[in-house]
Structure 1
Amino acid sequence: MNTDVIQIHKNECINCQVGSSLSFRPLVEYLKDRLKTEKSVKSEFYRFLLQKIEKDDVLLGTISAEELSKYKDTLELIFTILTPLMDDEDDLFWALSTPIPDQIFFSTNAFYKFFKDHDPKNKVGQDSEPVEKKQLKFIYNIILGRFYNFTSVLKNEIIYGHINQETKLTQYYNIQTDTKFVDIIHKGDLPEINFEELGRHFQEDTELEYLVKNLPLGEFHFEGFSIISITDVTLQHAIDGIRNALVNHNYQTEAYTHVIQALKSLSGDGRLEFGLMPFLTVNKKLVFDNKEFSQSMLINSAKASNLEEEVFYSLVDKYKENPRAIFVSAINDDQITKDPFLKVLKAAGVCSYSVLPIYYNTQLAGVLEVYSNQEVLVDDKLLSRLRSALPLIGQLFQYSIEEFDSKMDEVLMDKFTALQPSVQWKFNEAVWHFLQGKNSNRKLKEIETVTFKNMYPLFGAIDIRNSTTERNKALKDDLNVLLNSLIDTLKAIRKMITLDLTDKLLFNCKDWIKRIGSFASSNEENQLNEFLENEVYPFLSIIKGNYPETAETINNYFQVIVPATGDAYANRRQLEVSMQLINTEVSQYLEKSQAKLQASYPCYFAKFRTDGVEYDIYIGQEIAPEKPFDLLYLKNIRLWQLTSMVEIARLSKGLIGEMPRPLETTQMIFIHSNAIDISFRNDERRFDVEGAYNIRYEVVKKRIDKVLIKGTTERLTQPHKIALVYFNQDEAKEYMEYIKYMQVQGFLNDDLEGLELDELQGVSGLKALRVGVKYLDNKKESPKKLKASELKSIEKEIAKMLQN
């Protein structure tokens, strides 16, 4: 035992204006009370200690901590009576201190060494609360409990951690203070406390300000001594760390990192590392190319070794059939022969590797990896330390699986279904009504049709100019490459072997080269494919088998016709890449832009891929019943529609330099001023218009993409132009004001055309506006400057129009 005085806070609590005195009088009173009721042999020990203390008069009054070193025998008796008999002082962290812990005057050797080796102020976490404030809370906590029977949620304990120099792991300790032998004396009448008001201050963390004002510490005096004990809580702290990761619902790399660090502390072995591998599935098949697996050593090692995915999947699927704990203390050739997956781990520097299956509700959720670059035996002692964490890791894996599935569903809903957040509320109502009908035994066999009435439609189309012509040209260019390569192959074969059939095939190939220049239908392409499949390829196969010297020449030809890499598909691949580039960029632009529209007023936005991109927008009161609809929102979205077409034209023009096969786009808007009804077709999983008059709107949409200017052979849609199709002049008036505004802003050229269009099948009387897009050059051309009077006039027109 040690009687050296240890100064804890070094006078840091200078404003804790409370009197205190070190005394054993409270212990004496306690022993006297116990002797009145204690009938066992303990009474003799209590009586002996009491006589020992009373013999030294100085112990009955106030004494300094430094003086107590003279009474070591008495202090050891106190230690004996206050601690379990079986505790070994060399392992027990226990000490006596002044009533308000400031000086430690008696301690076990273990406590004294611990205190000297570690700084008790090195608290865990981001707790930067000053020592003085903590001391005040400690004091008031005792006073409120003793005098007002008020129990605070705060405990008289401190958690702190330090790095173990041997294991390099953080260990956590709980310092607790027992004030059983501290008497508190108050001078005068005890102040009244409004505990309802105090409770509010506790919630706002301002309780000290209230207590200092209403319960002055100068009126209190602390007498006696405190007992300080330290407990290793590393295991519990590690488990709590894993629980916190679950509660915080942060299941990605940050949470996984915290959990792995907690597992290291739990293991107590600095040589061990841990990996977490939840089993995520797509269509009931495991997938691993996901950031959640950045914490898996096996996944990272497999990627580093370029292990084929099929091999890895088969290994894991085999493990899922028979999940079991695998312990490999040393990876050697015999182990690798038994478990081939260990080869990639050894290449990554792993020496020992173990796997523990993790379950959630009896279902396999993933595996926990335990590995090291040294030989480490995973024994029962380690497993017992980890066992309490396994259910929590199972819960963590389940959260990861659920979040992954949720992300899949979110993207699926966003990219592949017509159901959008702006209309989902109505589908929810329809489902609820359907379920209510089933539960109440009503005859509701079919779910109700989801309908939105009086919706204002907007339609836009971004088309790839001459896409059909470009496809035909790419096909013809590729067929030329194919046939010329085939001719070269047949000529090479003719030099090696003599067969009349070779000359006949050469003749056919040359004839096909002449014919492909005038392909007019897919039927002719089919005839060429039949010639190749039925005559050429069987011939080449037989020749290759019977004449080995021709194998290399024939193999080279078949390399040419591989769709993914061969030269005979190069033009079509380049065309597809160019079209995909345009469509992807346009789609992404529309996705980002429509998100801003939804913020102003909810609308239904449906986007479709054709050779280009088309979209439908519907806006109206029924789509957002709780938000009043005004035509102002419709005008805003129409102005956006015209502006977005300019931006898309600029975007697609800027992509030309990146395209392997340059393509241009055309932009068209169909103006329809009257509201229509739309309903969701359950069989087709999409929205469609309702009513005969409304169907006319759909008919026009589908037929105007190739409409001609009346009396000419010129298509309405042209590159670098925006075409706006309408029926009535009143419908065009609003857009003409927008065009004027955008011309002033430098978006459009001063070349607005008013055009009449040819009749379409079942559609007549169509008109159009067409205006050129103003592109921004490298000099950042500034917009046209108008006179102040002209600009003011246009602004007034726009303002007046938006108010109507």
Structure 2
Amino acid sequence: MLPKDPVLFPFECVLSLEPLIEFLQDKLASGCWPTNPVGSDLLDRLAKTPELRGPIQDLEALKKHQGLLLRLMSLVFPPVAWDTEAFAAVVPFALTPVLASPQFEELFINPPAGQQVRRNVDDATFFYGRTIKAYMFILECLYGLKQHMNYPLAVVVKEEATGLERHFAVQLDFRFVRPEAVGEPIVLSEKDLELAKKHISQPETLRRLLPPERFRLTGVTILKAVEVTTFETISALSRDLIDQETVMSQAGFLRLQERLRTYFGQGELVAGVAAVHQDQVIILNLGCRLEEDSLLCQTNQVPKEHLKGSLFEKLAQDGEMVVVPDVREEPGLAKFSADYGKSNLRSLLIAPLLYQGEFIGSLEVGLPGVDQFGPTDMALMTELQPLFTVAVKNALEDIDKQIQAVIKEQCTAVHPAVEWRFEQAAMRHLESRRQGRAQPMEDIVFHEVYPLFASSDIRGSSAKRNQAIAQDLARHLDLGLKVVRRAGESRPLPILSELAGRIERRLGRLQDGLKSGDETGLTEFMRSEVEVVFEDLAKQGPGVAEAVAAYREEVDPYLGTVYRQRRLFEKSVSMLNEGLAAYLDLEESAMQAVLPHYFERHRTDGVDHLIYLGASLSRESSFSRLYLSNFRLWQLMVTCGLAWLGEQLKEQMPVPLDAAHLILIQETPLNIRFRYDEKRFDVDGAYDVRHEIIRSRLDKAVIQGGERLTRPGRIAVVYSSPEEAREMRRHIEHLQEQGFLAPEVERHELEDLPGVRGLKALRVGINLESEALARRAQSFLG
């Protein structure tokens, strides 16, 4: 049952239907309702039923008039929801039910044997919150002093059979409650009201002004319990995963597993988390016996080479969630079939954990039955991936910290803009050492900083890289085929015809598209089965010897394969990356003179950069909103310059490459913390992680309808709020007037990313023929 109030509530609470009846009468008299929702005879029948009028002391008397009470309560209890939702009418500011829906009755009034019901707060906090709420209600209704205090009340129901918890948010409607003075009304002066306002959270002060015995709370409170199990479980998981020990310690992980069981609604669910560290796969934790139930059974470290050809390798390569209906029928688990045979797990759901596009680990959940996971479970798992990705990333960082010896002092190289803060910390650290206190360096955290992120990624780099690989492999096979054919012409041996056929078949398969393992497999084939006969074949005549010489001239002796097209592609990538990075560094250096700021630049297939701005980063705290807007406009201008430069460099590249440009806007500031083990800054706190998650996933963003967001020749500006969009539109309009940008601006809703919803984007073309843009870019390039 619902927990009883252990402390006597100081106010008299009286059940009365009069406020609800008056509400009905007023609405009918006003003509606001087109029809009478409860029937024309209800008020007449209520007038003839004195047990339902005025203060109701005997709640048992209500049972004689259940039908009439139900008709009246249909004003606040929708009949269509009577059998599906949990709601009740209760005595004001009490949990004593007057009328309850069947679901409310089953959950909270007469629950099954063994079912536990508890509030989300202890008894003292519950009593305190209810008392403050009553005082605020009286002050607002009788004295016009309106104050707000958020007092969320929730109830947790734990089922004995499954051990699972269900969370319900309690919503209270006080519209049909009236505070009444007992005896002579108390008059409060302006000074009294100011005192009440100042001490609104202090019941003892309010008691002196408004003694509880001088008031009565009359009417009926409408209570609704809304299930929020998923939301509460996600919140609890987020809080737990902030502590990296949660995934590292067995006790912490078992607590996580209990939350996951609640989240998936499966009392027998078993969870496991693995992480990739260099050339090892590490099992961080499991909610079961290690040697029986884990995908990575028998040891907490497995060489990645050992997992070749397994389901784990597929997970790392594809980066997509995997559902295994039956572990005993899954070929990718053949290496672990004996271990799964010992366990009772049959179904698996395994999610990859990707950080900035890199596979860093996996989250695995299993159940005893066959085919237990479906699309709904996959959607639930998608919500968990960002949380566990951050937790595993932090756990990996902690592992690095533990295994690496301290070679240098904790801070050897920091960004010049924040060097002053490290000097302060170092001085205090040295002072503590001089005083004999062996204390670590203090935490260095910069609060309320604004992130500015932008990227210029090479469009289609993976496809072009695969194309270059395929061309090189095809050339390698063709060179070998020429040797074998020349030899066959010189001496027509059947074995040479057979070898030529094998080479031709591999060439044919290669034309159908490059597949995983082709690069290694074809190179090994040529080395071990074709090249081994060259020495003998070269003796058959000068024509064959010339073909062998041509083969060896083109095949790289160190790599053992033709590497021409790949080298050209890598040269093009290097040219574009170096050009964009040099231009960005020049622009950023000029902005350091405007306002010192933290800057990071990364090069992969393209260039991205991250800037942090804020008053806490400056020794003089000279930051203002004007600087933030200026940097956002500058970032937009720089992106235009990068696009122009990329177009100029394309003419010099052996393999012409296009770059797609993106800017992420976030209005909400965040906190960053310096990680001494990694010698870098990272976001501080679970809420701030959202920006990091968005950055890591934006390269996969598509607009609603399926089109990819980023396109060469255009800038995509991703945002969340209307305020962010309005500011960026102003900057875009300015650059359109300058001739940097094309006139048309597209507005798009983005498809939900894993763990991220509600993103929008502006997309605008870049005027690559603009003379003004060319002059500005050239002025920086010299």
TM-score by length of 2: 0.46
Greater Rg over alpha carbons, structure = 1
TM-score by length of 1: 0.45
